Amino acid sequence: MTRLSVNINKIATLRNARGGNMPDVQKTAQDCERFGAQGITVHPRPDERHIRYKDVELLKPLITTELNIEGNPIPKFIELVLKYKPHQVTLVPDDPGQLTSDHGWDTIKHKDFLIDTIARFKEEGIRTSIFVDPDPKMVEHAKLTGTDRVELYTESYASGFASDKGKSVAPFVEAAKVAREVGLGLNAGHDLNLENLRFFVRSIPWIDEVSIGHALICEALYLGLDNTIKLYLRELRG
């Protein structure tokens, strides 16, 4: 079954809005695991507007499933990952002031940089994934960087789902087939939710992991965190 990694950035955003420690990011991560999540994702950005670098230090000894750290591999980020050695690092080409991730890597243009960066993580036994658009060419060239997995950026699928779900998922199926053919593991994330998740994983049943944060936390405001995680797991089981 495709694994669910819960991105807890939005919990940190709420905490940071008022200062203090409410909601408690560390307790929320542990609760997500207790409720059935199979991983925890954090995405620290340079301005620390949600997850802080200190949070990673506090979370690492608490996570009993899988810790995935996402981010732009600037020197400070690389240092963080090498220090705390998560189970997985996901490289995302964010600009410093970017509101949220909005594109994948050009794996041709940035090939040499990615090769060097990924090699540093793999030397420490850290599984590496790189964020890519649903472009077979980008997936093909991702293989040449030495990465273990690619994460498909699913915003275009989510935005087109209501009007034509078959058309919106088609590029992702093609990219996923290429990933499987070249021997890359496959993750997915961005704007997946309870409405569109089941169709996506039924269309690409070999996806290893989905990382979901914004929608899951929003839905939890109405449904409760425990119930929401269980509903996501139900969708993944199909």
Q: Is the dihedral of CA 202, 189, 157, 216 positive or negative?
A: positive
Catalytic annotation, pick one of 33, 43, 66, 151: 43
The kind and range of the H/E element at 210 are strand 209-212
State the Cα–Cα distance between residues 95 and 232, nearest whole angstrom.
Answer: 30
With both helix axes pointing from N to C terminus, report the angle between 111-123 and 75-84 in degrees, rounded to the nearest 10: 20
43 is catalytic: yes
The kind and range of the H/E element at 189 are strand 185-189
214 is catalytic: no
The DSSP secondary-structure symbol of 73 reads: -
CA dihedral 11, 14, 17, 21 (to 10 degrees): -70
The residues, any chain, with a CB within 8 Å of residue 190's CB and separated by 6 or more, are 100, 101, 153, 154, 155, 158
State the Cα–Cα distance between residues 2 and 207, nearest whole angstrom.
Answer: 6
The DSSP secondary-structure symbol of 7 reads: E
Catalytic annotation, pick one of 33, 50, 66, 70: 70
CA end-to-end distance (rounded Å), the chain: 9
Catalytic annotation, pick one of 66, 141, 151, 190: 190
103 is catalytic: no
- Three-class SS state of 190: coil
Q: Which residues are identified as catalytic?
A: 43, 70, 190
